[in-house]
Structure 1
Amino acid sequence: MSVEHDHSHHEHHQHHGDHSGHAGNGGHEHHQQGKVSWGMAASATLHCLTGCAIGEVLGMVIGTALDWGNVATIVLAVALAFVFGYALTMRGVLRAGVGFKQALKVALAADTVSIIVMEIIDNAVMLVVPGAMEAGLASGLFWGALAFALLVAFLLTTPVNKWLIGRGSGHAVVHAYHH
């Protein structure tokens, strides 16, 4: 009989433990945040990188094809990276039934810092890799440097996104619309 009592007490305690895990997340958040946050940060960065990469590649391709100088090509690539970066975030938020103006605000809040950091790193790498900006579109150097630049941007932007999400900003803003 006492075993049954202990068992029911154990189930009750377990239920209470599960409940406090959700309700008292504030206490455990810093401990759990590390594991969850790197995954969330990598996911947010990858999402941002997708939009940035589309715009970046398009800008580099157009600028290089039109034989524009480095500055004009980079300006176009950065502008398109912002357009596609915001567009991808807005698409997800709009799908959640949010109006266009609110979706734009969410995208601006979620992606601005991430895109800025990513674009600075990405374009800096393209400028420092010898001959990358001068290489033609048929050149393996151009595409290799661009892939390398995007990888470096991903690796260096992920900790920035982790910090932003930890503070409740950046892509944390978007997650409210995905539930």
Structure 2
Amino acid sequence: MDHSTHQQRPTGAALTRLAMTATLHCLTGCAIGEVLGMVIGTALGWSDGPTIALAVALAFVFGYSFTIGPVMRSGLALRAAIPVALAADTVSITVMEIVDNAVMLLVPGAMDAGLGSWLFWGSLAFALAVAFVVTVPVNRWLIGRGKGHAVVHQFHGGGHGHAAHERRPTGEHGHGHDH
């Protein structure tokens, strides 16, 4: 099978769509971690610093896990999937976390609002939306250069699943692949 198309990089509208998809993927993992961290920190009555630290840590954990799972399903072992996730998501998650936490801190009273408050949830939703808008161009730039989420697409999606077999490090040949 000719895999020369793996080297082609999307441009124009296709690049923007891919960047939006990658950012939405990242946002999903980040939002789960962010919400969980904010809920735990707020419920425990923590101050802003520890609450944000927990939210950021969980955002990275969930963000990376949303990439590691599909990459492993493509046939890559965990120890090979982790560097793929780190390469794919670190910049995106970092930008997203800086932006959404800055917005949360800038909305008056948002961090002090209780979990039953519309101010808290509205501010968090707004912060994540702003983070999405800011992160799309970052991901577009990275993907356009074959970096960031572009590294994941050689392992899944768009019919590229066979690339995982070609790039698997020696000694990691698994069994029972479904392609």
TM-score, L = length of structure 1: 0.83
For structure 2, the 5+ residue unaligned runs are: 161-179
Aligned to 1:171, what secondary structure does the other structure show? helix
Q: State the aligned residue count.
A: 153
Which residue type is aligned with residue 55 of structure 1? G
Question: CA offsets, 1:130-157, max 9 Å, x none?
Answer: 0000000000000000000000000000
3-state SS of 2:115 partner: coil
How many Å apart are 1:34 and its aligned residue? 1.2
Alignment of 1:27-176 (within 5 A): 33-176=11-154
Measure, in 2, the Cα distance between the counterparts of 1:55 and 1:173.
Answer: 23
Provide the C-alpha distance between the structure 2 equivalents of 1:42 and 1:94, rounded to a whole number of angstroms.
23
1:91-132, CA deviations, whole angstroms, 9 ceiling, x for partnerless residues?
Answer: 110110100011100000000000000000000000000000
Could you tell me which residue of structure 1 aligns to residue 164 of structure 2?
none
How many angstroms does 1:35 deviate by?
1.1
Which amino acid in 2 is paired with 1:100? L
Alignment of 1:9-24 (within 5 A): none
Who wins on radius of gyration, i.e. which is larger? Answer: 1
The one-letter amino acid of 2:96's match is: M
State, as a whole percentage, how many aligned pairs show the same letter.
67
Q: Whole-Å Cα distance in 2 between the matches of residues 165 and 34 of structure 1?
A: 12
User: Which structure has the highest helix share of the two?
Assistant: 1
* RMSD after superposition: 1.4
Runs of 4+ deviating beyond 3 Å = none
Work out the CA distance in 2 between the residues paired with 1:102 and 1:132.
40
Unaligned residue ranges in structure 1 (runs of 5+) = 1-21
Length-normalised TM-score, structure 2: 0.83
